[in-house]
Amino acid sequence: MRYTREYFTKLAEDLSNTGSHPTVVDKMVKVREAPDEERISLSDAVHPDALKELGVPVPDSFRVSPRTFEKPTFVQSNGVQNPGLEPGSDAESSWKSYGSMPNSAYDTSAWGAGSDALPETPQSPEIIRKTIYRAVLDIADLVLGSQFSQAITEMYDLPLESRPQFVMDVFLNSEELNRRGIVIPETMNIQRSTFYDGRPTLFCISKREQLSYPWRKITITFDSETEEDAHNTLEEMESC
């Protein structure tokens, strides 16, 4: 298995240092506070290339893209997720698949309904950094567990076209998780998501934190390519 403690420690260092950088915090607050119709254009300011020009250390694993999350309770009704599209969609592109799910299937818990009790004012960069770092390592503890790592190995041993069904049958199936002895912490979710830049995601693991948006969910995502191509990301933009 490619994933190691060293791999996740480096990932935690890179993402926590970038995600908590004062310049990133300032620009993400502006994106968060902007009207919906302006968020996409403002997100250009937190594109990795733009941040690099401002002297922000940006690792290759850091990306910014509009993204939605699916509520796990809608997995069976939405069906298999084709690479790069919303679950159940057979549209020609990611953007054309937007809105394929019913409105009630979008997970808005990090910024919409259900988030009223979460902080609105950004914490200090140091608090954000420590929280991101710890969250990534907490997710690593789950992924590196013997039962979970065995399931990931099984998934990546399958042909590309068979992996989305495996995700539904195993990672998003509570009975199968129980049978395999995989226990998901109460602060974490396994769910599907859609990046509207076409990234072929399989599933993601999110850890909920008591931070202001957009740091309320720290997410590691597994893609439908090869294990070596799996990317890891913070939840910079969530669009619904």
pLDDT of residue 158: 95
Does residue 144 fall inside a structural domain? yes
Does residue 158 fall inside a structural domain? yes
Most confident of 51-55, 114-118, 185-189: 185-189
Does residue 49 fall inside a structural domain? yes
pLDDT of residue 6: 92
Spatial contact of 224 and 99, defined as CB atoms under 8 Å apart: no
Does residue 239 fall inside a structural domain? no
Does residue 159 fall inside a structural domain? yes
pLDDT of residue 1: 54
Q: Is the pLDDT of residue 226 over 70?
A: no
Does residue 90 fall inside a structural domain? yes
CB atoms within 10 A of CB 164: 23
43 pLDDT tier (thresholds 50, 70, 90): confident
CA–CA separation, 180 and 182 (whole Å)? 6
- The arithmetic mean of pLDDT across residues 178-182, rounded, is 98
CB atoms within 10 A of CB 95: 13
228 pLDDT tier (thresholds 50, 70, 90): very low
Range(s) of the domain holding residue 199: 5-234
Number of domains the chain is built from: 1
Where are the alpha helices (H) located in the chain, listed in sequence order?
Answer: 5-19, 22-33, 36-42, 48-53, 75-78, 94-97, 125-143, 146-157, 163-166, 174-180
pLDDT of residue 237: 38
230 pLDDT tier (thresholds 50, 70, 90): very low
27 pLDDT tier (thresholds 50, 70, 90): confident
**Contacting residues for 158 by C-beta, under 8 A, at least 6 apart:** 166
